[in-house]
Amino acid sequence: MYNVHIQAIQNYIDLDSSITLESMRQKLMNDFNIDESTMTICRYIKTFNNSLKSTTLIPLRRNFEKSINIREAYANRFFNVLSDIDETRLYFVDKVGFNISMRSKCGRSLRGTNAVQTVAGIRSRNICLLQHYKNAIAKYHVQTTPYNTITVLSCYPGANFNNYIKILN
């Protein structure tokens, strides 16, 4: 294997930290018409000072300035509404989500650094549990989709949140 092939392997890993040895072998075959074993590729990867570890998934849109501004504006509206609420009409709500993901959790990176993979969207299955308290009585609600205004309000039959929902939306 020549230096150009070794550099190509390094580029494959830099572009996609979760690429498999078999995928690298196929790419070398397509790009350079050479057939190397996965063990040979693994031996060269070890010279890069890389190790296989769990990847950290970072949603692409999480830290966009627009997303941050939207969250800040929502928090400001929420605290304004909270100051107008009578304590006898206050519900304490807690939501827990269990995430079942089918993504590859391993990727390669330099020793001592995290294997990071930026993804357009993290697809997973959510199992959500909503628990709320009012007057020391706990109630639970479970569903397999994320909660939105309609599903949360369906947990509170007879409660009138119309004025507050209009302000927060």
Nearest Cα residue to 94 out of 143, 131, 141, 144? 131
Domain harbouring 14, CATH code = 1.10.10
Shared-domain flag, residues 77 and 17: no
Better pLDDT: 74 or 151: 74
Shared-domain flag, residues 107 and 156: yes
Shared-domain flag, residues 86 and 141: yes
Shared-domain flag, residues 73 and 100: yes
Question: How many domains does one find in the chain?
Answer: 2
Phi-psi region of 158 (alpha: psi -120 to 50; beta: other; left: phi over 0): left
| The pLDDT of residue 21 | 93
Shared-domain flag, residues 44 and 61: no
Shared-domain flag, residues 92 and 122: yes
Give the total residue count for the chain. 169
Q: pLDDT tens digit string along 14-70?
A: 888 888 999 999 999 999 999 999 999 999 998 888 877 877 777 777 778 898 899
User: Band of the pLDDT at 145, cuts 50, 70, 90?
Assistant: confident
| The pLDDT of residue 122 | 59
In this predicted structure, the answer to whether residue 75 has a pLDDT above a threshold of 80 is yes
* Type of residue found at 102: M
Structure tokens at 64: 């966009």
| The pLDDT of residue 167 | 47
Q: pLDDT tens digit string along 104-142?
A: 667 778 888 888 777 666 566 667 777 766 666 677 777
| Model confidence, pTM | 0.44
Shared-domain flag, residues 63 and 31: no
The residue segments making up the domain with residue 38 are 3-48
Neighbour-count burial for 8-28, b at 16+ CB within 10 Å, e otherwise: bbeebbeeebbbebeebbeeb
